[in-house]
Amino acid sequence: MHLIDGAGHVNNQFVPEDIPTGRPPTEITAALMNALQNEIANFIVSTGTTLNKNNDGQLRDALTSTFARSDSTIHYLGQVYNIVADKATLAGVTAGYLPEGTKILVTSYYGLHQAAMVTRINGAWVDSPLPLKVFDLWGTDYDNHGYYWFANAWNLFDVSAIQVADATEGDSGIIRLATWGEVLSKSLAAVALRPKHMADYVDQMFVGMFGDFASGVTPPPVWIPANGQLINRTERPLLWQHAQASGLLVADSAWSSDTGKFSSGNGTTTFRVPDLRGEFRRTADQGRGIDPGRQVGSSQGDAIRNITGSTGALNGVQGGTSGSGALRRIAGGSGIGNMTLAMTVGEITFDASKAPNVVVASENRPRSLAYPTHIYAGSPA
């Protein structure tokens, strides 16, 4: 494109003939007209339209579709029962019963670029001004059509035909639904998740996770008790897939001595989940050296650090002390450390339960709280 440069232009502007001064009119050049023609034609073609000599509305249509694709103004995008020209028309619209909360768009309340949204409240129509932007979309329940406000008028549109660009991570546009690939890669900018994609995404994120529930109430069906039960592979395909990839899958015949792992069940249709009932879970060492040699999911019995001690002979000894480690001989008495000795000549017995505040049981354990543990199995098939 270029400015007019034909004979008689003034600062590249068109001027009329001025007879008193002898100034000629500006010459309209072929170059300028060709440039203007090409600019318009190229714009129309860029929208995917084929030039048609018999259609004088192609530039208008190209401009309309361009506004639809790229106008960055904030728009109203809404759903109403109907769009009417004036409030008197509401009498016809409401010939039948319209429930509370029904919305109708009235276009002529406030002149161009204004409208009113009226809402049925307590049997009356309550309205408020609604400024209309360059390109506003409204859908109606009354005639199943859509309308858009453009060039100070309402226009009917076919939702399937209107050209509105999808949003991308770099460009603005109408929000679109995410693909499953975007869900998995977390590329979710300017897109909406389908409900099923959301559920599938959560399943992918949490399948195989253990969770303690502070309630006796059964949790949602995506969680199942981690109690060593047999599960049908086709009913919990995500958990079965996780079990195979986990490195914690053993034969069912070996599972009873390795209950922190999955088993292959009957080898064809079932598999077994870990049994965490009554167990403390310990964070895997993974090379730190505090609990070396442990495999993920491996079982470990209880143990304590060794307690040792020694003392000299007791027969006939009075006064003085002797001994080492956990044992001491105290002259004239039977107390040894925190322990109490049941003494006979030449014999010492060791019984931790005799010491004050010592509680004994069939296992070594810290104080604890008990909650049912479940494993996230994913949505049932």
Query: What is the domain partition of the chain in residue ranges?
Result: 59-157, 207-301+369-381
- How many Å apart are CA 141 and CA 126, to the nearest integer? 19
Q: Write down the pLDDT at residue 77.
A: 62
Structure tokens at 101: 């909360």
What is the enclosing helix (H) or strand (E) of 126?
strand 124-129
Q: Write down the pLDDT at residue 313.
A: 56
Q: Write down the pLDDT at residue 375.
A: 95
Angle, CA 242 vertex, CA 238 and CA 244 arms, to 5°: 120
- Residue 32 C-alpha from the chain's centroid: 56
- How many Å apart are CA 272 and CA 74, to the nearest integer? 55
Tell the residue number behind the tokens 């650090």, with chain if given: 305
Q: Write down the pLDDT at residue 319.
A: 45
- How many Å apart are CA 304 and CA 301, to the nearest integer? 10
Note if the pTM is more than 0.75. no
SS3 category, 37: helix
Angle, CA 15 vertex, CA 13 and CA 19 arms, to 5°: 155
For 228, left (φ over 0), alpha (ψ -120 to 50), or beta?
Answer: left
How buried is residue 135: exposed, middle or buried, by Cβ count under 10 Å (0-12/13-18/19+)?
buried
Q: Write down the pLDDT at residue 344.
A: 44
Structure tokens at 267: 């080898």
How buried is residue 40: exposed, middle or buried, by Cβ count under 10 Å (0-12/13-18/19+)?
middle
Note down pLDDT in tens along the chain; length 381 residues. Answer: 788 888 988 888 988 988 888 889 989 999 989 989 999 999 888 878 899 999 988 888 877 666 554 444 555 567 788 888 887 778 777 656 778 888 888 877 655 556 788 888 887 888 887 777 766 778 787 776 778 777 677 777 765 555 556 655 555 556 666 677 776 676 666 566 666 767 777 788 899 999 998 877 788 889 999 999 999 999 999 999 999 999 999 999 999 999 999 999 999 999 999 999 999 888 888 889 998 988 888 888 888 888 877 766 555 444 445 666 666 665 554 444 444 444 444 556 677 787 778 888 888 888 888 889 999 998 887
Q: Write down the pLDDT at residue 173.
A: 58
